[in-house]
Structure 1
Amino acid sequence: MAKQRQSLLFLFSLITLLLSPLPAFSFSDESPTARRILVLVDDLALRSSHSIFFNSLISRGYQLEFKLADDPSLSLQRYGQFLYDGLILFAPSVSRFGGSLDQSRVLEFVDAGHDLILAVDSNASDLVRGIATDSGADFDEDPEAVVIDHLSYAVSDTDGDHTLIASDNLIKSNVILGDKAIEAPILFRGIGHSVNPANTLVLKALTAFPSAYSANPKTKLSSPPSLTGSSISLVSVMQARNNARVLISGSLELFSNRFLRSSVQKAGSKTIYDKSGNEQFVTEAAKWVFHERGHLKAVNVKHNKVGETTEPGIYRINDDLEYSVEIYEWSGKSWEPYVADDVQVQFFMMSPYVLKTMSTNKKGLYSTSFKVPDVYGVFQFKVEYERLGYTSLSLAKQIPVRPFRHNEYERFIPAAFPYYAASFSTMGAFFIFSIVYLYHK
């Protein structure tokens, strides 16, 4: 009896655990902004030293959960559901994550469509470097190397090795960095990385100047540096094909209160800025990473014959049809009409038979009309929209196209008049020949 009671108690506990509600998730088509974010740090003191950045996220409605990177209870998902919408990895020196978290789980998190901010410093471990490499950023192989610039450095009383960079070489994209220009240079101290030019998914958000190079400042150069000039990326962003977004920074100090509040003077310039551009840069970049900008959705995809409103199940060759779709952009709070002049639709079967640029009423509606090709088969309406900084749209709707039925053709086709004349002339000639042959002696 005691064993049976223990078994029943264990079964009851298991059922209770399975039926317990999981945390609510807000990342959806109706509200695409990631809300619950896990922040992994090496030291919980980062909560205060980087509080300005964290408080800016909290003020915009994000729920931040801070944990040590080696916490034994770490997990990104439970029962097949992810517990977080985004991940901030501010633990550059961690050599092994705690709990069930590892490099493959982090990449699986991104592959599932979730967002990641990763920042490192000169103490970056192989684990963190591996995550960055799999995200398209290759850090300098020399573990002691940092970015040095003897021309574009920030004037400082303590920095004599010119590792404190003042860069304003930013990506020219309003959707990534906002409409307001960043006037002050951005302070950076850390390691540089390179991106593969053939990889169109990774973009340099902050780039070093041609005078920069990556090396160990404590030793003399015995060979040319592996990373030099504008090939050094200080901060990169990546948008995966599933629209997950990643930011990779070679400097953890870039997000610190000290850099965000520090004044800055670039070497060779007499202009002294009371405040660096770091706060504006990291705030705007985080808005993009967590889908507060540049997130598109398409709704109300419709097609019908001209003059009709119902969607047919099949078209006939040479029919005149209309196609329309509504596209909206998330502003961080609501869906706003997306206005552009480069949205195209294809009428596709193996290859596009029709390619049309759609017109917009500037209220989110895109539409066009065209004639069905004189080819029957199974076609698709396809919209493949990709634009720098915006989430991609991929819409497809299948529709068959049939030929004319036998009773739908015109009774007499003008182009066939010569054949009609030939047929009747042949019959007339045969009739005359028969009369002559039968009755002429």
Structure 2
Amino acid sequence: MSHATPSPLTMAARGPLTGHVRVPGDKSISHRSLMLSALAVGESMVEGLLEGEDVLATAAAMRAMGAQIERGSDGVWRIHGVGVGGLLQPATALDMGNSGTSTRLLMGLVTSHAITATFIGDASLSKRPMGRVIDPLSTMGADITASPGGRLPLMLRGIVPAVPITYTLPVASAQVKSAILLAGLNTPGITRVIEPVPTRDHSERMLAGFGAQLTVEESAEGRVISIHGEAELKPQAITVPGDPSSAAFWMVAASIVPGSDIVIENVGLNPTRAGLVTALRLMGADITEQDARTVGGEPVADLRVRHAALSAIEVPAELAPSMIDEYPALFVAAAYAQGTTIARGAEELRVKESDRITAMATALTACGVTCSEYEDGLAVTGTGGDPIPGGGRVETHLDHRIAMSMAVAALNARAPITLDDAGPVATSYPTFFATLDALAPIEQAA
């Protein structure tokens, strides 16, 4: 699943974005739907699954460990699970491609099974540190041999029974939390995770939905999530809401391109994921919720977004966990705002698919935007709504969010912006450019 030959792409400004768009299924929920369905006994059905490369890597890994996973002609995925504790020894290495979520969560699953799995990934994923999950999973009994720096390739030997632990997250990370909870599914006793700062809670919602005995309590130390091991999961019918991280690009695009008026349908608005909506509204964005509803335990709404004059803000640091993947898009919005936007408290961006702080600072600077880099974020001075100069060549670092964010930045730039590689967009949003063409056809370009 390694990335192919680079696909450079030059993006020029276009006219207003108009119409309706339905974004792909939520990536976080899609991963977890496949994993938990594969551990249930019986057939689960998943509708609206994100069919990007990252999620397909999870599907391939679960097949390699015994689950039957098929996509029907109706677009519904049907998964026959092996039961908790029933994962089989994979015959070959598990290729995670570019997916850090797949890697960290599957490491958790394997920890409490008597199997050995080797995890490999592409060049970008192989640079990402895995120590934050290696430490707690090793405490539970996994034998993990990683490449220097705690990186891929790595081999993990699971153990039965694993040891239940109580673990306080040293950094806010839903992936680490989820890895421990998934390991706890087949571990006798109660495994607890304490998170001082709340992170996205899809794992807790879905584990409970599948029948796991799970509790969430508030304490002086933070949220305490407890899972009772040796669980029996029941198959489910799941409808995956639209990914707020994918909707982010259209929220920003419509906000910065004059005359834009779009409706983004079926967007998941889980409070642990909706930080960008809050931040953009603080900047003056015109975002209204329509037909608010609950789907599969997750809050969902259609979002109408119209062009608006944006003003710089100091982004509240407490929003960081609920919008960590959306910061690259936020930096683009800041480039078009009036004044200097300061966004800090997001040091996690340094260990994503790329160092997203440096990558975005470099990309925006190459396009004539003034940026100042902090260890934990950026200060971005905007144009007050005027077009940015553009004209730069952007190094995407195999990072889908850098590529899409800078494609959005080009939509109101004076000169075209060239992406050195648009290929990584397929990891999370294979139809991104086709959707852009539908919302703002090229023939509308100035």
TM-score w.r.t. the length of structure 2 is 0.30
| Larger strand share, 1 or 2 | 1
Structure of larger gyration radius: 1
Instruction: Considering Cα pairs closer than 8 Å and 6+ residues apart, tell me whether 1 or 2 has the greater RCO.
Output: 2
| Alignment TM-score, normalising by the size of structure 1 | 0.31
